[in-house]
Structure 1
Amino acid sequence: MPSTTSPITPKKGARRIVLIDHHENPPDDRVSTHLEKRGYELERRYPVNGDALDRSDHDIAGTVIYGGTHDVDEMDKYLFLHDEIAWIRHCHARKIPMLGICLGAQLIAHALDAKVTPMAHGKCEFGYYPITPTAEGQRWMPQPMYVTQAHFYEFDLPLAATLLARGEGCTNQAFRCGETTFAVQFHPEVTAEIFHRWQNSDWAEEIFFGAPGAQTRELQTTLATQHDRAQHDWFVGFLDKLFGCANE
């Protein structure tokens, strides 16, 4: 696992990071803004819209698979998810730095032969929830933290994976497999401003608000004010350890 003093060394000359997205959102999330500042060329791909995932990796410095409203148990309905599974296995086998977020984390778990299932009793997490690093995860996340959540599904731990963080309602919150593949159930890429957009979206009202486990809008806003900065500081530091800087 990358330590606070030993970031992964990017492949020499690699400047391209492939971002796999499932919705056409503004590119103002923390992954996009921070990696752009670090000099990377961000290539956003939408397999959901038919974009192909090129297996050529000579100039790829890393990949990020975002969240989305699709579910792993609907792969026969959403055939593009099979392409994403193949991409994940390709990158993992070649030790290309990879981060999966929410659905992306669930896809990584599935690709590495772990189960992905709905949370029990129709529960969800929507808001800001505390997670705690494991003993093995303390170099990755030094202390407990409130993080942004929006999900109904959870993943089991792949056989060769190391659990990095636990939650209260959803136990498995983050893992690594090998030295370059990381998966997080939560949404550290989401700023307080983005979460405010989520709160006002039709899908939040239809799917999350009022569901078992979801926080009220008022509590979400209070917790965002209290904890968003700490989440930001930790996450951009982690991105630097995983992907490094294209200009170095």
Structure 2
Amino acid sequence: MAARKLVLVRHGDDPPDDRVVSFAVTQGFDPVIVRPFKGEALPEADDSVAGSVIYGGPFNVFEEDRHPFLHAEAEWIRTCMAGKVPLLGICQGAQQIARVMGAEVGPPASGLHEFGYYPVSPTPEGRDLLPDMLYMTQAHFHTFAIPEGAVHLATSPLYPNQAFRIGDRTYGFQFHPECTIEGFRRWQSTPWAAYGKPGAQSREEQDALMLEHDARQAEWFYAFLAKLFGTR
């Protein structure tokens, strides 16, 4: 029998070496990477699809007229949710889910950035997701309101809305637990790295926190993916 697909919606050209891809390969899923921003078509959400992840990226999710592919991704979100296909949105992906659900998305009035490794704590309703505070990888300066009917799961000192759940199969994370040390090293060297912006950590701070906290973040995220998508 063919491996069931995890449809991975990407918004950039990073190598496929993140933790979602690693999970898919080790657990016998077929990781199907689709880049709608390059004109690639999303598949049918049929019985061969075990779940989907919508990744982060550089696109403002409220600029659908400027980026028409966002309409196709919004329809994919609706289709997954209607069909009860397990769905995870990460950073931009979480913002897209929130927007589909009618919530406000955009830069906060504070003007703060999170770029580095920041403490994320569970809300009282979020302890099934996140039993204790964890340092999570962050790279963003937009946020989302918690959609109506969603459960607010996690918070941080700079950005109070860090995670939500809709039903039992749709999750949105503002943070980036999929990002490995190697992936974050690439981010540190990009032109968009937010050094010097309010709230952003220095490279020295990032390096120290990365070495201290990345392994625990990885352990937590792999367990979450197994719970959401299942294992072989």
Name the TM-score, length of structure 2 as normaliser: 0.97
Checking the alignment, whether the CA contact within 8 Å between 2:54 and 2:89 is kept in structure 1 is yes
Match 2:19 to one of 19, 22, 30:
30
SS of the residue 1:149 aligns to:
strand
Superposed, 1:44-193 pairs within 5 Å as: 44-193=33-182
| Cα distance in 1, alignment partners of residues 181 and 104 from structure 2 | 31
Q: Structure 1 residues 40 and 122 mapped into 2: Cα distance closer, same or farther (>3 Å)? A: same
Q: Structure 1 residues 140 and 121 mapped into 2: Cα distance closer, same or farther (>3 Å)? A: closer
Q: Which runs of 5+ in 1 are unaligned?
A: 1-11
RMSD of the alignment, in Å? 1.3
Instruction: For 1:240, give the aligned amino acid.
Output: A
Checking the alignment, whether the CA contact within 8 Å between 2:45 and 2:80 is kept in structure 1 is no
Q: Percent identity?
A: 49
SS of the residue 2:132 aligns to:
coil
Hey, what does 1:230 align to over in structure 2? Answer: 216
Q: Which has the higher contact order (CA 8 A, sep 6+)?
A: 1
Checking the alignment, whether the CA contact within 8 Å between 1:14 and 1:60 is kept in structure 2 is no
| Cα distance in 1, alignment partners of residues 198 and 63 from structure 2 | 22
Hey, what does 2:203 align to over in structure 1? Answer: 217
Once the two structures are TM-superposed, the CA of residue 85 in structure 1 deviates from its matched residue by 0.6
Checking the alignment, whether the CA contact within 8 Å between 2:150 and 2:167 is kept in structure 1 is yes
Q: What does the per-residue CA deviation read over 1:132-183, in whole Å, with 9 as the maximum and x for residues that have no partner?
A: 1111111111100110000010000111100110111000000100010001
| Cα distance in 2, alignment partners of residues 227 and 149 from structure 1 | 13
| Cα distance in 1, alignment partners of residues 202 and 73 from structure 2 | 34
Count of aligned residue pairs for this structure pair: 232
Instruction: For 1:210, give the aligned amino acid.
Output: G
Name the TM-score, length of structure 1 as normaliser: 0.91
| Cα distance in 2, alignment partners of residues 37 and 29 from structure 1 | 13
